[in-house]
Amino acid sequence: MADRPLEADADGESAERSPKYHDIIAAAQELFGEVGYDKTGVREIAERAHIALGTLYAQFPDGKIGVLGAAMNERVTRLAAHIAGGSIDDPVEAFLDKVRRLNSEIVRDPFLRRVFLEQGQVNEPRLRERGRELIEVFSSMAVGELTRLTESGHAQCSDPQAVAVLMRTATVGWITANASGTAVVSHERLIDVLVDAVRALIRPRAAHAPAIAGTDRPRPKKAGTRTQT
């Protein structure tokens, strides 16, 4: 998948011209984050947005699928903008800062947590695929950036895709454990360890390891040996 946010649906593009569009999207994000996919219905979304059900269908003829698909598009666009900021000069540290902010925002936001937690549980194929694309877009961005850092010599990463999967599964695993009440450490602690691990994996190694102090000293002679003259 290309390194860009998800493309908006054609009906979503026209719906953006309606003053009710953002109310519907915000209501869908809030409700989905609170109760999940199964309990998020169009009637509940309309009530949360303080609009008539007919108004919602006028904006999103596909109903629940269209609303939640557009809600994912909107949120991933804001998330991409959130992690694009930053003023760190070192390329590797700038990348790691994005990793930290991305994963922290996913855990902080109830809507994003639900997307990652329920992605494989959504019965509607189009919406399930949209959730998968949302998750994959940031992995693709990480792979692209790791590849560029390696090609420029700022990083040394032999398998950017595997590193991206490591970063993604660490947070997805924590979200799952937290939802079941089995997370034993805070996400802040986990992300600290994750960032340190990724830094160690991708920092360029020196061509030759520095000599250990004292290793260039002459070895002591064994007892009983004689020096030849």
The 10s digit of each residue's pLDDT in 18-28 is 779 999 999 99
In angstroms, what CA-CA distances link 149 with 17, 57, 81, 155, 195? 40, 46, 20, 5, 16
Please give the mean pLDDT across all residues of the chain.
84
Average pLDDT for 118-140: 83
Q: Domains of the chain (ranges plus CATH)?
A: 13-84 (1.10.10.60), 88-204 (1.10.357.10)
Which of 58-62, 88-92, 182-186 has the weakest average pLDDT? 182-186
CA neighbor of 20 nearest in space, from 43, 54, 44:
54
Average pLDDT for 2-25: 59
- The answer to whether the beta carbons of residues 18 and 96 sit under 8 Å apart is no
Say if residue 226's pLDDT is above 80: no
Task: Identify the burial level of 109 via C-beta atoms within 10 angstroms of its C-beta, where 0-12 means exposed, 13-18 middle and 19 or more buried.
Answer: middle
CB under 8 Å, gap of 24 or more: what pairs does 129-134 form?
Answer: 130/6, 130/68, 130/69, 130/72, 131/72, 133/1, 133/6, 134/6, 134/72, 134/75, 134/76
- The answer to whether the beta carbons of residues 71 and 49 sit under 8 Å apart is no
Residue 80 tokens read as 């991409």
φ, ψ for residue 156, nearest 5 deg: -130, 95
- Give the pLDDT of residue 129: 85
Say if residue 157's pLDDT is above 80: yes
Confidence of residue 86 (pLDDT cuts 50, 70, 90): confident
- Give the pLDDT of residue 125: 85
Confidence of residue 206 (pLDDT cuts 50, 70, 90): low
- Give the pLDDT of residue 127: 83
Residue 137 tokens read as 């877009």
Confidence of residue 133 (pLDDT cuts 50, 70, 90): confident
Say if residue 181's pLDDT is above 70: yes
Which of 61-70, 106-115, 210-219 has the weakest average pLDDT? 210-219
- Give the pLDDT of residue 132: 85
State in Å, rounded, how far the first CA of the chain is from the last one: 74
CA distance 31 to 41: 9
DSSP state of 166: H
CA neighbor of 174 nearest in space, from 94, 103, 75, 84:
103
In angstroms, what CA-CA distances link 128 with 31, 32, 117? 17, 14, 12
